[in-house]
Amino acid sequence: MTAEPILSVRNLTTAFRADGGWKPVVRNVSFDVSAGETLAIVGESGSGKSVTSLSIMRLLAEGSSRIEGEVILNGRNLLALSEKEMRAVRGNEVSMIFQEPMTSLNPIFTIGRQISEVLTRHKGMTATQARAETIRMLERVRIPNANTRFDEYPHQFSGGMRQRVMIAMALASRPKLLIADEPTTALDVTIQGQILDLIKELQDEEGMAVLFITHDMGVVAEIADRTVVMFRGDAVETGPTSEIFHHGEHPYTRALLSAVPKLGSMEGRTAPLRFPVVDTKTGISVAPVESKGTVSTQQPILEVKNLVTRFPVRSGLFSRQTGAIHAVENVSFDLRQGETLSLVGESGCGKSTTGRSIMRLIEPTSGEIQLDGYNVRGLGSMELQRMRKSIQMIFQDPFSSLNPRMNVGQAIAEPFLKHRLGNRAEAREKAAYLLDRVGLSGDIMGRFPHEFSGGQRQRIAIARALSLDPKVIVADESVSALDVSIKAQVCNLLLDLQESLDLAFLFISHDMAVVERVSHRVAVMYLGEIVEIGPRAAVFENPQHPYTKKLMAAVPVPDPARRGIRRGISNDELKSPVRPVGFKPPVRQYREVSDGHLVQVA
């Protein structure tokens, strides 16, 4: 482990050409990675972690970037090599896997061909040898039926399986160093668990060095021997992972760690808890405040009964219906004023469709929705527009949820004016008030969305949603795309707003740790159905359904003591909710575990 490092980076400084000058985005970064060791580079967006890895591989556009310092791989300085020599290094001595498994494979070649190409090019194998070796590689990354899947195309693989293919391709040439740039970020949590396990196992078998780039402290704790924390282009702290976690020196490290939601940290509490706020300069943290009792005891504001949403699947020349996606199947729940109900589950479980069906952004197939006195499914288009005053939505991606051609003031005032809640002066006043409420200044009204960071845009989106004084807010993955520290701030803001405005939240998320922090009640969804629902404490501390348990076990916990843990998650893929025409979903039975805690039994 302490032998000669495979990769040694010294004083790496990368600058990009900007406005006629050179703007450094990575400054003076140094670290070593030895064989069999995993080094994590962790940081938020814009910290320069990805640029560091691209600099090592020299994958940045030459004219517009400048790399200084030394990158020594096995005694050779990569920065001194010619482009031709560098090509022999890439994919051979150093391999890389990327975040997006959906786009990093060429869709028009079979996966077998793509992997064997690496072997014939770098290892000089014949086609037959390469095929045999490729199948062996596919088996190594635990792809079932590797022999038959050799001739399949990328679109026939799921996201997790594609990432396995990417890993197989990266490992085909037996690299000494594997650079993994956010390899699990786009994957569902159970699939993420599988891929992390796989990388650990392969590393044990091959003894390669791994440079792992991530923003997720939980993943860092599980995979890294040593960690580099990056902040705005500087490596602010480097050390063994457990040192960083337990005795982080730099204020930023501590701020980052305290903002990380930790599954299981809510034991013994009933109300939601705000995230601690840490000053990134001083590292002084303000103790988190527990949310006051906000849940109303009156009639629920939203009641959903037996909601079903299906999408027809059509195929063939005459687009005959050949099946249906059972996106939401017999879902029932209610929501009171001041309450947060979270819908959790993995992609394709129907949680977003549920939220959209309730608002009738998607037409439900059947079921009953009572919202603030409206029978939602029976509304005509004019009444539907009026109903939208009572329920508003906050979307996931703050970069696409605001119209780029409309300034902030217009965006916030528009719903208010549209619903004729007041004149233009009042709308302006309202917009200024709301901006203040979400922690922004009223002066920014003339500015456009692109001038703001992701977190600020999400605040603007929240202000817009609040402009109609809604009673229910559907927050669809509203904090998922944000950096940890921003995520914590926005969650705190949502809790503040709930306290003061008595809002009911339908909080849709795949992130168990955040859900644990902010919810009063939780519903776990799987293949369109709620498999478990109940008070947050009951569901998290006493999960009953096997899927809930599996989901919770898969969440990476930011605790380095769990380093080396193998979950032994089976290689199951997420099942598909596509059913043939005429499929009758089975009638489900629920068992009451404790007061209000229901679990699907059959």
Partner 1 sequence: MTMIEQAPLTAKREKSRAWEKLKASRSALAGLVIILFFVILAAAAPILPIPDPVATSWSAIRKAPSAAHWLGTDDLGRDILSRMIWGAQASLMAGVFSVALAVGIGVPFGILAGYFGGWVDLVISRITEALLAMPFLIMAIALAAFLGPSLTNAMIAIGLSAMPIFVRLTRGQVLSVKQEEYVEGARSVGLGHMDIMVRYILPNVTAPIIVQATLTIATAIIAEASLSFLGLGQQPPAASWGSMLNVAKNFLSQAPWMAMWPGAAIFLVVIGFNLLGDGLRDALDPREH
In the complex, minimum distance from the CB of residue 461 to partner 1, in angstroms, rounded to a whole number: 8
In the complex, minimum distance from the CB of residue 518 to partner 1, in angstroms, rounded to a whole number: 21
- CB neighbour class for 32 (10 Å; exposed up to 12, middle 13-18, buried from 19): middle
Residue span binding partner 1 (CB under 8 A) among the ranges 48-56, 95-103, 244-252, 404-412:
404-412
Decide: is 314 part of the binding site for partner 1 (CB under 8 A). no
Question: Binder to partner 1 among 243, 303, 334, 414 (CB under 8 A)?
Answer: 414
With H, G, I as helix, E, B as strand and everything else as coil, classify residue 407. coil
d(CA 254, CA 247) in angstroms, rounded, equals: 9
d(CA 380, CA 398) in angstroms, rounded, equals: 30
Question: Binder to partner 1 among 103, 282, 315, 400 (CB under 8 A)?
Answer: 400
Helices 159-171 and 189-206 cross at an angle (nearest 10°) of: 20
What is the DSSP annotation of 539-560? HHHS--SHHHHHHHHHS--S-G
Residue (348 or 449) nearer to partner 1, CB: 449
Residue span binding partner 1 (CB under 8 A) among the ranges 343-351, 402-410, 532-540, 551-559:
402-410
d(CA 598, CA 346) in angstroms, rounded, equals: 20
Residue span binding partner 1 (CB under 8 A) among the ranges 147-155, 229-237, 407-415, 590-598:
407-415
Decide: is 393 part of the binding site for partner 1 (CB under 8 A). yes
Decide: is 560 part of the binding site for partner 1 (CB under 8 A). no
* Alpha carbon separation from 83 to 87, 89, 96, 505 (Å, rounded): 6, 10, 17, 54
Decide: is 395 part of the binding site for partner 1 (CB under 8 A). yes
Q: How many CB atoms lie within 10 A of CB 126?
A: 10
Decide: is 593 part of the binding site for partner 1 (CB under 8 A). no
In the complex, minimum distance from the CB of residue 229 to partner 1, in angstroms, rounded to a whole number: 32
Residue span binding partner 1 (CB under 8 A) among the ranges 241-249, 320-328, 343-351, 422-430:
422-430
Residue span binding partner 1 (CB under 8 A) among the ranges 20-28, 82-90, 372-380, 441-449:
441-449
Decide: is 388 part of the binding site for partner 1 (CB under 8 A). yes
Spatial neighbors of 148 by CB under 8 A, at least 6 apart, are none
Residue span binding partner 1 (CB under 8 A) among the ranges 36-44, 262-270, 325-333, 412-420:
412-420
Residue (307 or 465) nearer to partner 1, CB: 465
Between residue 343 and residue 362, which ones bind partner 1 under the rule CB under 8 A?
A: 359, 361
Decide: is 397 part of the binding site for partner 1 (CB under 8 A). yes
* Alpha carbon separation from 75 to 7, 93, 180, 226, 368 (Å, rounded): 8, 13, 22, 21, 69
Residue (468 or 484) nearer to partner 1, CB: 468
Decide: is 176 part of the binding site for partner 1 (CB under 8 A). no
Residue (413 or 531) nearer to partner 1, CB: 413
In the complex, minimum distance from the CB of residue 424 to partner 1, in angstroms, rounded to a whole number: 6
Between residue 468 and residue 497, which ones bind partner 1 under the rule CB under 8 A?
A: 468
Q: How many residues lie near partner 1 (CB under 8 A)?
A: 42
Question: Binder to partner 1 among 107, 404, 580, 582 (CB under 8 A)?
Answer: 404
Residue (431 or 514) nearer to partner 1, CB: 431
Residue (258 or 401) nearer to partner 1, CB: 401
Pairing of strands 374-375, 578-580: unpaired
Decide: is 430 part of the binding site for partner 1 (CB under 8 A). no
Decide: is 428 part of the binding site for partner 1 (CB under 8 A). yes
Decide: is 459 part of the binding site for partner 1 (CB under 8 A). no
Q: Tell me the sheet residues that pair with 97.
A: 180
Decide: is 406 part of the binding site for partner 1 (CB under 8 A). yes
Residue (418 or 588) nearer to partner 1, CB: 418
Residue (49 or 457) nearer to partner 1, CB: 457
Q: How many CB atoms lie within 10 A of CB 244?
A: 28
Decide: is 405 part of the binding site for partner 1 (CB under 8 A). yes
Residue (233 or 470) nearer to partner 1, CB: 470
Decide: is 464 part of the binding site for partner 1 (CB under 8 A). yes
In the complex, minimum distance from the CB of residue 449 to partner 1, in angstroms, rounded to a whole number: 8
Question: Binder to partner 1 among 386, 549, 566, 575 (CB under 8 A)?
Answer: 386
Our CA dihedral for 309, 315, 319, 322, rounded to 10 degrees, sits at -50
In the complex, minimum distance from the CB of residue 344 to partner 1, in angstroms, rounded to a whole number: 21
3-state helix vs strand vs coil in the chain, percent to 5:
35, 25, 40
Residue (181 or 477) nearer to partner 1, CB: 477
Spatial neighbors of 47 by CB under 8 A, at least 6 apart, are 230, 231, 232, 233
d(CA 26, CA 52) in angstroms, rounded, equals: 7
Tokens of 323: 């099946």
d(CA 192, CA 496) in angstroms, rounded, equals: 32
Decide: is 446 part of the binding site for partner 1 (CB under 8 A). yes
Tokens of 431: 């917009």
d(CA 595, CA 546) in angstroms, rounded, equals: 20
Residue span binding partner 1 (CB under 8 A) among the ranges 26-34, 162-170, 266-274, 396-404:
396-404
Q: Position of tokens 């609040």?
A: 466
Pairing of strands 529-535, 521-526: antiparallel
Decide: is 450 part of the binding site for partner 1 (CB under 8 A). yes
Pairing of strands 366-371, 472-476: unpaired
Of 289, 186, 195, 238, give the one whose Cα is nearest residue 496: 289
Spatial neighbors of 225 by CB under 8 A, at least 6 apart, are 1, 37, 38, 39, 240, 241, 563
d(CA 434, CA 421) in angstroms, rounded, equals: 15
Residues that bind partner 1 (CB under 8 A): 359, 361, 384-389, 392-393, 395-397, 400-407, 409-410, 413-415, 417-420, 424, 427-428, 445-446, 448, 450, 461, 464-465, 467-468
